[in-house]
Amino acid sequence: MDPFLLCAGLMKNPKSLLLMLWMMGSACIQVPDLEPGALPDAGSLDARPVSVNWLSPEAGSSTNGTLRVSVEVTGPSPDRVELLVDGTPVGLFSASHSLNWETWSLAEGPHVLAVRATRNSQVFTSPERTVTVDRTLPRMTSQTPANTASFVPAGTAIHATFSEPLLASSVSTQSIQLTVNSAPFSADVSLSGDGRALTISPRTPLPVDSQVAVTIDAAVTDLAGNRVEATSRDWRWMIPSYLLVGEPLLVGSMETSYIDQTSLRIGGDSRPVVAWAQRGSVHVKRWNGDAWEYLGGPLKSGATNNVWDSALQIDTEGRPLVAWIEYFESSINQFHARRWNGTAWESLGTFLNSSLSGGRIDWMDFSSGTQQAPVVAWEERNGSQHQFVLRQWDGSTWVEKALPLPVPRAGNVYSPGFDLDAAGRPVFTFGANDAQGAAVGHVVRWNGSTWQDISEGLEGFPTARVFHPDGSLLVGVTARVEGRWRPLVKRWNGSAWLAVGGPVDSDFSTHGRALNGIVVDAQGLPMALLTEVHTQPGTSSTVGQVRQWTGDRWEDVSGVLRPAPGMWKQGLPSLALSADRAPVIAWLEGTDPALANSVSAVHVHRVNQ
């Protein structure tokens, strides 16, 4: 029916007014459409969408166990909300739309998460989010310095890389600590942007002669919360006072090596040259800046002879000279010498024998000076005589430098050595037994025509000597100081012995100490090499330390020179001074010398700086 006609008819019947008004409200006024989901009657469906938004975890998260999953649900209340992992339902959410997801049954690696909400027959799904299950402990894959390294250069940067990223918030100066000799050492700790590279930066230089360690606390984890593998949390190394120059030097294998002593000089090119006798021959090597290179090959005069002592010198033109003693036929000895001409060894005259009838040579050496023609000395003896002999190379033959120096009482000689003053006059220092059998120190100088004993007032046992550029003689001695044996450097001023400062060592030691080398730098300041024997079980060895006179006191040049762990320093060291005034030391190092099959090699050391 037309609404207008219906309304007009009703107006003719006043009694029907109320009914008319009601009819007008339903037929004459426009009624808006129902909102979606409105319930005009009990059978209508709510079609409004359900929205599911992530609260946790973050995209790209990792977990090693239980993961808290939370979402925000808006719109009509769903009938159920469930978590999907790789498309498979794994659990229902609580009324607060949270779920603790247990990941233990899943394989390690990335997994795709989604949340599905269901209302009546409608399904609403959240965006996907990838989470990685990671139960593998992070570990160090590289370290600088290497763990347990024994010869780490001073100033080496401290870095480590890990098998996977670390959690940045777990890395701090509290969770990663640097120690030196077990004491905390101030350092900054930083992690690279990808979380894999760790850098530790000491705020002050690390000291030499120290053990350094990095301790990583269990609080340091990867992104999944896995602690760093235990074997990667303890990282330590040594910063020694001295570093090896190249590799240890020997001929053949370590298992078959035996070396008695070594000799070291600095060549005309400011690089070390070292000589030693081993396996019946003399061997000379020179440092080329990257490695040790042979100068020629093994040296000896005959296939049946054997070499047991050698010495090295550098001539005025910077060429290495080497001399050695060969023995054969029941202790008959020969002295041989060669000079390196740049491509080969050339002979310096024919061999020399002991000047004594039936004599043997027990010791030989070159003088330390390089501003004169080469001079060599040796100790010789027979059944009735014992003396020192000097020979100088005049360009074509070895000539007598001075008369032979008789040794008192023809007994044993201790710590023999000699040198030349600026005028070329030699001086010998040594110890010999007196009438009571006690060792007595001697300093004897050639005055041009006779030997002059200047030992009186020395009051010590001489073990090293060198001439100062001012002409004075410096002698290293072991002497009594306040009732204790201490190393001293004494200077002969032409009429008396004067101590250069006090004891060279910084304090008294109960171990045996000796001064086994003296050099003088370009400023005229002497350096002294101290050696000390440690005899405790498990650490029995010799160690060394160089100290320099500053003009008013003795100071450390560096820390203590120690053998490598499990090894022993053997014999006497050889000391030289590099072009930059740094000490260089050649020393034998090997297994326990008390063992019947002890082996050794030549180690050349430079200051770690």
Secondary structure string (H, E, C) spanning 103-128:
CCCCCCEEEEEEEEEEECCEEEECCC
Distance of alpha carbon 249 from alpha carbon 96, whole angstroms: 75
Beta carbons of 563 and 539 less than 8 angstroms apart: no
Beta strand extents in 401-447 (DSSP E only) = 405-406, 413-420, 426-433, 439-446
Name residue 90's amino acid: V
Q: Show the tokens assigned to 165.
A: 């990223």
pLDDT at position 2 is 42
Which pTM was predicted? 0.79
Q: Show the tokens assigned to 154.
A: 């001073």
pLDDT at position 410 is 59
Beta carbons of 204 and 211 less than 8 angstroms apart: no
- Give, rounded to a whole angstrom, the gap between the first and last alpha carbons of the chain: 112
Q: Show the tokens assigned to 131.
A: 């989470």
pLDDT at position 10 is 37
pLDDT at position 536 is 57
pLDDT by 10-residue block (mean), the chain, 609 residues: 38 42 39 42 69 95 94 94 96 94 93 95 94 95 94 95 96 96 96 97 95 95 95 91 94 74 91 92 94 93 78 91 83 86 93 88 85 89 91 93 86 90 94 82 95 94 93 94 92 94 89 90 94 69 92 93 86 91 93 78 94
- CA triplet 419, 422, 424: central angle to 5 degrees? 60
Distance of alpha carbon 407 from alpha carbon 500, whole angstroms: 28
Cβ neighbour number for residue 147 with a 10 Å cutoff: 15
In this structure, what are the phi and psi dihedrals at residue 300, rounded to the nearest 5 degrees?
Answer: -170, 165
Write the DSSP symbol of residue 23: H
Domains parsed from the chain with CATH numbers:
1-28 (no CATH), 51-133 (2.60.40.10), 140-239 (2.60.40.1220), 243-368+563-609 (no CATH), 402-558 (2.115.10.20)
pLDDT at position 37 is 41
Q: Specify the DSSP element, H or E, that contains 6.
A: helix 3-11
Distance of alpha carbon 427 from alpha carbon 413, whole angstroms: 16
Distance of alpha carbon 567 from alpha carbon 565, whole angstroms: 6
- CA triplet 500, 506, 511: central angle to 5 degrees? 110
Name residue 222's amino acid: D
Helix (H, G, I), strand (E, B) or coil at 562: coil
Distance of alpha carbon 40 from alpha carbon 44, whole angstroms: 7
Cβ neighbour number for residue 454 with a 10 Å cutoff: 19
Distance of alpha carbon 110 from alpha carbon 211, whole angstroms: 42
Residue with tokens 């160089």: 546
Q: Show the tokens assigned to 372.
A: 């004169």
Distance of alpha carbon 70 from alpha carbon 418, whole angstroms: 88
Q: Which residues contact 1 (CB under 8 A, 6 or more apart)?
A: none
In this structure, what are the phi and psi dihedrals at residue 7, rounded to the nearest 5 degrees?
Answer: -70, -35
Beta carbons of 545 and 530 less than 8 angstroms apart: yes
